[in-house]
Structure 1
Amino acid sequence: MTLLVPFDGSALAEAALIRAVEFGEVFEQPVVAIAVLPEENAAYARERGWIEPDESFDTGRILSRLREQVRDRAPEATFRYERVPRVARAGSIAREIRRTARRIEASIVFVGSDNAGRLVTALSSVGGNVAADRTYDVLIVRHTG
């Protein structure tokens, strides 16, 4: 079994990654961090801080930065990525995370989110959509400290 962390480089994703590594050490489980990138969507990349306002979209550079972030915080974790279309329909990022969770037989998905799992979630919440899948347990990390 494997521990999966959806990773977008945010402080909460980093906190979830660190928590997953701690669990992985205790339960002797490998950790996989997954990034999902909408292809050539510079606005989405800027919103997440993946590129600067004047920087062009470069998939390789973005993945390199995310991979380095994962390596800095969790050297033993595996980094994976998936791509979705530029104008991804609502839920397509969460769908890729869920597919990966099933493919790698994740036992726990560690979601860094300040709103996933609440009774009412936004329709566009990746964390909420990932948390809704019943094929794995979900640990929600709501604090960076």
Structure 2
Amino acid sequence: MTNNKKVAMGNFGGPNSASHSRNVGEAVAVELNAAGGACQPAEQWKESWAEWKCAVKKQQAEIKRFQNRTGNLPAIEGPAPLEEIDSEILQFFPSAMVEGDGRTKEAGFTELQAGEVNEEDEENEVKSLIDSPNGASYHKPSTS
């Protein structure tokens, strides 16, 4: 993929980009199949690459979350470090794409216990339903 950064990033644009992407994907599939190991059509290679990239970014995010936790936990309690080839995959992406831009606040989710209702969320939901153009009715969820 280092020889085909456009393929690695999925950056094809302009006229005939679909056919160009398909042609380059087929050429890369021929190279990968000739290297030995798995022998797959281009679409399966694309899917494998996409899944691998996703898994590496997810693992890197887990590592960063562990590093940002408080409590000075030993590294052995955290996720496994990236392998060398996985670290190379991260080099394809801008750091903001993997680690965030550092300026955008994470929204996250508030975890509720079974049967627990977040009053603020409930009030906001009621307000949005009342203000909705179709005048939908609101039924308070039961907590039993």
- TM-score, normalised to structure 2's length? 0.22
> Which structure shows the higher helix fraction?
2
Larger Rg: 2
Larger RCO, structures 1/2 (Cα 8 Å, 6+ apart): 1
> Which structure shows the higher strand fraction?
1
- TM-score, normalised to structure 1's length? 0.22
